[in-house]
Amino acid sequence: MMNRVRAALGRTAGQPPTPPPPVTLRTRNLNASERVEVFVQQFEKLNGKVVRVRSRSDAGTAVRDLMNGQMAVASNSPFLHECGVANLAGVRTGFTSRDELRAACAEAAFGITSADHALAETGTLVLISSPREARLISLLPPAHIAVIAASTILSDLDELLKRSPEPAKVSSSTVFITGPSRTADIEQILVRGVHGPGEIHAVIVEGEE
């Protein structure tokens, strides 16, 4: 196939490319408090629910209240541990086996994660697959709670890629989550929670650094 491609383009093997056009990255460059405000605004516009707290322990309490006595699977994120999420009743965590994790997620009402980054402009959570964050926790259970420090929030995707231009080096999977799962495939009527979670919550810890 490579020969067909080269023949079509009139290029030879090993020929260097022509100079590429410059990268177009334009960040809004919001300041710290704008980032939080804009993130909250955008997240809520998408039908996400936000709880803002002043301390890690308050975050744990907020998660407990959201869980309302139901079962949850939490990721192994150190931040979640600091917030006391791992110790809440009904929370299962510490999974390192794919199959066990999947089985637990299938039964849980909530998947609780932190997030590696958040993007204010679009109200997006960025989850990078790692020993701390498994992929399926934010995907299988019908509701997703993300507990993040306000400092995690960047202005936009442009800023993120400026800072981390090589996401492939870091992980096999970087997922950008912007609101609850949805479809309008039948008669263009909006329905939430098709395959991914239909409910999404962000607990934002501000003030404590």
State the binding string over 70-109 for other proteins (x if CB under 8 A, else -). Answer: ------x------------------xxxx--xx---x---
How many positions of this chain bind other proteins (CB under 8 A)? 73
Q: How far is the CB of 107 from other proteins (least distance, A)?
A: 12
- Determine contact, residues 181/197, Cβ cutoff 8 Å: yes
Based on the shown chain and the rule CB under 8 A, indicate whether residue 122 belongs to the binding site for other proteins: yes
Distance between CA 201 and CA 102 in Å, rounded? 21
Distance between CA 106 and CA 141 in Å, rounded? 6
User: Which of positions 166-205 make contact with other proteins (CB under 8 A)?
Assistant: 166-168, 171-189, 191, 193-197
Which residue in 67, 43, 63 sits closest to 205, CA to CA? 63
Q: How far is the CB of 63 from other proteins (least distance, A)?
A: 21
State the binding string over 28-47 for other proteins (x if CB under 8 A, else -). Answer: --------------------
Based on the shown chain and the rule CB under 8 A, indicate whether residue 163 belongs to the binding site for other proteins: no
- Determine contact, residues 105/141, Cβ cutoff 8 Å: yes
CA-based max dimension of the chain: 66
Which residue in 161, 167, 102 sits closest to 130, CA to CA? 167
58 versus 158: smaller Cβ distance to other proteins: 158
